[in-house]
Amino acid sequence: MITPNHHEAGFAAGKRIKSDDDLNAVGKLLLEKLQAESILITRGEKGMTLFNANGEIDYFPTLAQKVFDVTGAGDTVIASFVSAVAAGATLKEAAIISNCAAGIVVGEIGTATVTVPQLTTELKHHFANGK
**Between 91-105 and 116-127, two packed helices, what is the crossing angle to 10 degrees?**
110
Count structural domains, the chain.
Answer: 2
Q: Round the average pLDDT of the chain to a whole number and report it.
A: 90
- Residues 41-51 have a mean pLDDT of 92
91 and 58 assigned to the same domain: no
Task: Fill in the DSSP letter of residue 112.
Answer: -
Q: Note the pLDDT of residue 109.
A: 82
57 and 79 assigned to the same domain: no
Q: Note the pLDDT of residue 11.
A: 96
Q: Note the pLDDT of residue 130.
A: 57
pLDDT tens digits along 59-109? 999 886 777 778 788 899 999 999 999 999 999 999 999 999 998 988 888
pLDDT category at 129 given cuts 50, 70, 90 is low
93 and 40 assigned to the same domain: no
Q: Note the pLDDT of residue 52.
A: 95
34 and 71 assigned to the same domain: no
CA 127 to chain centre: 17
12 and 24 assigned to the same domain: yes
Residue 75 designated active-site = yes
- Residues 22-39 have a mean pLDDT of 96
CA dihedral 111, 44, 46, 117 (to 10 degrees): -20
Q: Note the pLDDT of residue 66.
A: 78
Q: Which domain holds residue 84?
A: 63-131
Catalytic residue among 20, 21, 22, 75: 75
